[in-house]
Amino acid sequence: MTLRDEVFEHIASPMIEGGDKFTDDPEDPGGPTKWGLSLMAARLVRSPNGDLIFDKDADGDVDVEDVRIFERSDAERWFDEEVWKPLRCDEIDAGWAWLLADFGFNAGRGAAAIIAQRTVGAKQDGVVGPKTVALLAPWTLSGDRRELVRFTALRLQFYRLLKREKVERFFVGWAARACSTLLKAAVATNP
């Protein structure tokens, strides 16, 4: 199993994103969700020619009916194109890949990039570019995993700064998710 597959398996699990269970929590800002792929996220993705990629029922829009029929492959496609590749997870240490991919899936790749950049002292522009990748490398080469803990602390702080009603409703789950991912990241090694 590749690192990417292992990370996605963790994220898509029933304990993290609910697996194949369709949910429609009125307090979830992402809206209806299946395999962790929310209606809000799916609506934003278009093909190069402008087509709605996740219009599963081909009715010209992405709506709750599309979410109901999302398949795991849809969530994987979204993960690859909107999280894994933009965060350059194949180019960074496995521990960093775990943290960035999970947080990027949960809060968006821009938030994940900014927290990583804040952690290592990079310019906080929300894009993992060559400079951010280079600043992540010293922690990898030294074997120092403390920065992974710092990233997770900043991630938890990010959650606490969200609108109060979101924090109260979702914080315990988000914190548990961040900690379980930190445990995976702390022992991860590059193949």
Type of residue at 108: G
pLDDT tens digits for range 114-128: 999 999 999 999 999
pLDDT at 40: 95
Mean pLDDT (whole number) for 62-79 = 97
Cα three-residue angle 118-79-164, rounded to 5 degrees: 55
Give the dihedral of Cα atoms 148, 149, 153, 156; nearest 10 deg: 70
- Confirm if 92 and 77 have CB atoms less than 8 A apart: no
- Map tokens 């996220």 to a residue: 41
Give the dihedral of Cα atoms 186, 30, 108, 82; nearest 10 deg: 100
- Confirm if 132 and 122 have CB atoms less than 8 A apart: yes
Mean pLDDT (whole number) for 76-93 = 96
pLDDT tens digits for range 21-42: 999 998 888 899 999 999 999 9
Cα 120 from chain centroid (whole Å)? 19
Q: Is the pLDDT confidence value at 138 over 80?
A: no
Higher-confidence position of 134 and 164: 134
pLDDT at 95: 93
Please name each of the domains of the chain with its CATH number.
1-84 (no CATH), 92-191 (1.20.141.10)
- Confirm if 52 and 19 have CB atoms less than 8 A apart: no
Cα 171 from chain centroid (whole Å)? 16
Q: Shortest CA distance to 25 belongs to which of 170, 177, 178?
A: 170
pLDDT at 107: 93
Using DSSP, state whether 27 is helix, strand or coil.
coil
pLDDT at 28: 86
Using DSSP, state whether 96 is helix, strand or coil.
helix
How many C-alpha atoms does 20 have within 13 Å on its Cβ side?
4
- What percentage of the chain has pLDDT greater than the value 70? 95
Higher-confidence position of 86 and 190: 86
Mean pLDDT (whole number) for 78-96 = 96
